[in-house]
Amino acid sequence: MKTRCVFHRLGVCVLLLSGLTVSSVSVDVRPNRQQFFRGDSLSVSCADVQTDGWTVKRTLRNGNTGTCAEFGRIDGSFCVVDRVTPVSSGVYWCETSSGQQSDQVSITVTDFYVILEIPALPVETGSDVTLRCRVRGGSTLKAEFKKNGRTLTSDLVEKWTISVDHLSDADQYSCYVPDLGGSPTSSLRVKGRRAAVAMETRQHHVGDEDEDEDYDDVAAGVAIEHDF
């Protein structure tokens, strides 16, 4: 990564890190799960937006993209989607008037009798995630939990906890309740744990020769928060 000294004072070189893009927009989903029954409602909002002029958008599985005004209703800071149907399945995200976008969240709406309660929002490595199996019109039940089609539990259990220790989001999770059937499959969205990394720099005076080479040797003069 190329760095540039943009300000020098009291022997400290403050560096501009080119190529590092930090989005100020994040998406929030309530309830925080990927799977919904037909007829459920969900709310999507945009957090950490520093300016007005944001909207919630979605792209359906058929490729059609629309704004909240087309598929939901605005309620304060939320885009509320009432009585979702399987057609409502797709990816949802936030976008500002300047075109800045949040990460996308995946939503699946099903006519199945069973859904898997799995977070829609990204989870950090090092955290534990608890999965539950919910039946239509009722609460959570004991179930078999599966990963990539393989049963994880020898008996029916009320919940299954995953320790998130890798960045792969390719694993597919589902659950199965005898006599009622199985849920759709979903993947966890995983992000690196936020870490503040402080690295020492050496003093550099403006006007030194070969300053580009010196800058390349400097990792950072400030603490940087960064999602891996």
pLDDT averaged over consecutive 10-residue blocks of the chain (228 residues)? Answer: 40 35 72 97 81 85 95 91 97 90 95 97 93 93 95 93 81 95 95 51 42 41 36
The predicted structure's pLDDT at residue 168: 66
Interatomic CA distance for residues 10 and 6, integer angstroms: 14
Helix, strand or coil, per DSSP, at residue 107: strand
**Among 12, 18, 17, 6, CA closest to 202:** 12
The fold for domain 112-193 equals Immunoglobulin-like (2.60.40)
The predicted structure's pLDDT at residue 225: 35
Tokens of 190: 């995983």
The predicted structure's pLDDT at residue 216: 43
The predicted structure's pLDDT at residue 49: 57
Locate CATH 2.60.40.10 in the chain. Answer: 112-193
Q: Which amino acid is it at 63?
A: G
The predicted structure's pLDDT at residue 69: 94
Interatomic CA distance for residues 191 and 204, integer angstroms: 35
